[in-house]
Structure 1
Amino acid sequence: MHVLIRSGGRFWRTLIFFILTLVLVDIWVIKALLPQLKSDFSNSYRLPEGQEMAWLPFYLSALAQNPSPALVFLGSSPTYGIRISDPTQTFPVATLRALQKKGLASNWQSYNLSAKGFLLSDQYYLLKKALPEGEAFVIQLNYHTFSPSLLKGTRMRHPELAEKLGVSVSEAEAALLGLRPSPPLPLNAWLRQGLSQMWAFYRSKELLAAHWLGHTPEGWAFAQYEKALGIQAAEMDGATPFLDLKPTQQMMVLKRYGQNAGFELSPDNSELQVLKWTVELLKQAGKPALFVMGPLNVEALDAYEALDWKKYQAVLTPIRTTIEAGGFDLLDINRGAYLPADQFFDITHTLNAGGSAFGERVAERLGPLLRAERRSLSKQGAPR
């Protein structure tokens, strides 16, 4: 009996010591670490490169807390601007700047919820999370990401995203994208939410990992794995714009792009199905939205006859039909009003000038939508 009492006393001392240690660590995180990592999101034009997933929850939190109307962009590397050195020339900032020159969205703020590698399936769950907070949305699509050969490898780049954001996954979504459907009672989600509210270290774990490791824990581990095997991704290799490459190098760039071009779009295409869900979400929300095709280096594609434009249009037809069926519009400048080749770094990524120019094109199409929304709100007695 005496041994049990002594053992129980040791347990309680250990437990109290453990709790006090957690409290002290949390105080240290709150007082010493987090102030160094806070970002002024009003002047942050995009997520930190290579750390997008770590910063995304904090960016979304800033969006939810900002009283200014938000113009939200969802896209992948072209919208993120991986080849745009000046973040003020990215599509979202350039679009808002052009709108404000037209006397629209004067007190708005743009939010660039884009990251390298995002598929529409990733953007869909981001839209679910951001939809209540955004005033208007621009959804950037890529022609090549509808390619069956690309989707054969993965239908979603970040399958953990829905769980990370705390949004639901339906049975149909789970079956299509290879995810786990949300349970009727989301106990795990409630537990994570409770821990996030009470425990600063848990709430900020990915942000701290990005500070210490330069990546999320999973991303860091995968990078170490690639490094050990000598198979590090080469999607950002090279720093020479397309026009400055030798002809043989240009052909290699076009050949690489052509691996996911010239395909037929079937009705069961996962990106097309997610597009239907995206349109339905936006339609239910009743908020102005514009879909845009990512700009292509048409001059380069035509010079080498690297893309069959009839097949391109055949792919775009069901995409456009799906979007317009929901009452939305699709902007595609790649036939007839394309950007010049000197505004591109490669085939799909613009330089600073291209980002600014494309933002102006988006503003031209988005402006009438915002005016119509403003008139509608004025009639209801709630002008913006």
Structure 2
Amino acid sequence: MEIEFENTRTSRKEQQNGIEQILNKEINLFGGSFSSKKKEYFYRELSILMQSGVSLKAALEIMLESQEKKKDKAFIERLITKVVSGKLLSEAIADEPGFSSYEQHALRIADRTGQKEVITSDLYHYYLNKNKQRRQLYGSLTYPIIVMLTAIGVTFFMLKFVVPTFQDTFRQNEVNLPGITEFIIGISEFVSTNGWMLFFGSLLIILLFSLIRKTNAYKRFIGKFVLRVPLIGNHIKRSYIVQFTHAMSLLTKSKVPLVTALGLVKEMIAFYPLSSALSKVESQIMNGELLHKAFGRNPFFEKKMIALLKVAEETSQTEYIFNKLYEQYRDDLVYQSRQLSNILNPVLTLLVGFVVGIILLAMYLPMFQLSSLIE
């Protein structure tokens, strides 16, 4: 059973505020960061206990016993105190900083309908799926990033410490150096001379990006740049499409008007190319454009999605179509993650070997000349 917002007497504005935080990446709770992973555990335990016939107060008391951190225990204790004093679960959570308006709305419906175990189960499955998508993305990119950092570290070490050793030997014996050796030695001298400048320059660039990362210009640049990266760009784009279709599936099931749902998702999506595309789609629909035509005008969306959205309009099955799109893109993302790992891992390993091999070759070529001079 899904969370039915139409069964409440909330206004449209209140309904919108109740869902606008559905895709927040991190929730601040317990005075610190309460990640989506902790949300998954919290709603899972609460749902299981209440499905077992345990009252809300008893469920919270059982959860309290399993908490190890003081801040977590303090949070559960506050909830118990509020529930005992007569507050509903939604009211108790509303007083706590960090819970999204979407969760508060959902739990308010649970209080009114007496279906706390169903609503908490829905919230648990939402965070479960969200965490799975995040792990898939991280799993695909973690190893390549580690390999690239290793390659940079190994290359820097060889240029800083290994190459100068060979360079001194060549100078002492006045060996004529091949072009590739002179090139590598030139890079080594630059790194040795400007090492600290490169280090602080890198820190300055990182600091600069951290200061401007929330600006639209930065988001626009990063978004366009990421989309142009071979293999990885398409994978990241697909992960945000999965997030978009999942959110639209949940919102349409909750009977949220289509234009309102697009506006909410637009604010939730952190990827500028997608959020910008949704802004245009929303504006076009408000001006009377059909859904599939509005999506079709933007190259960000694939033809498969546009074709299915056309079917959704003709059959009035928007909820069903968005759910099917989510399932298809989710399965495609899983397959693509495996393929990306299978391609990037050996390619990057070969790249590291190639860079190290070039440096060693450049250093050992003059050694053959040196050995002939000694003979």
After TM superposition, the score normalised by the length of structure 2 is 0.23
After TM superposition, the score normalised by the length of structure 1 is 0.23
Larger Rg: 2
The structure with the greater share of residues assigned to helix is 2
The structure with the greater share of residues assigned to strand is 1
